[in-house]
Amino acid sequence: MTAQRRVVLEPSAQGIVDATSKPPFLYELEPKAARKVLDDLQAAPAGLLPIDGWILGNAGMHDRLVREATP
């Protein structure tokens, strides 16, 4: 018998695991419903890191870059 190690996640990651650990699972949902589940999970406010400097532009200006950078 092999020993199992307990995986410890960051609290936010553990929250996602807990929230999606019961049926219906994402793969059982229609795409629109699955997107809503994921949107709702990420809707909570998140703390922002301090910044130094600024960026000129908006989401529309950077849309192509984001699309090309993500698979």
More confident residue, 70 or 17: 17
Q: Work out the average pLDDT over 20-38.
A: 92
Question: What CA–CA distance (Å, rounded) separates 20 from 10?
Answer: 16
Domain boundaries, the chain: 9-47
Task: Please check the confidence at residue 44 and state whether its pLDDT lies above 80.
Answer: no
pTM flag (> 0.75): no
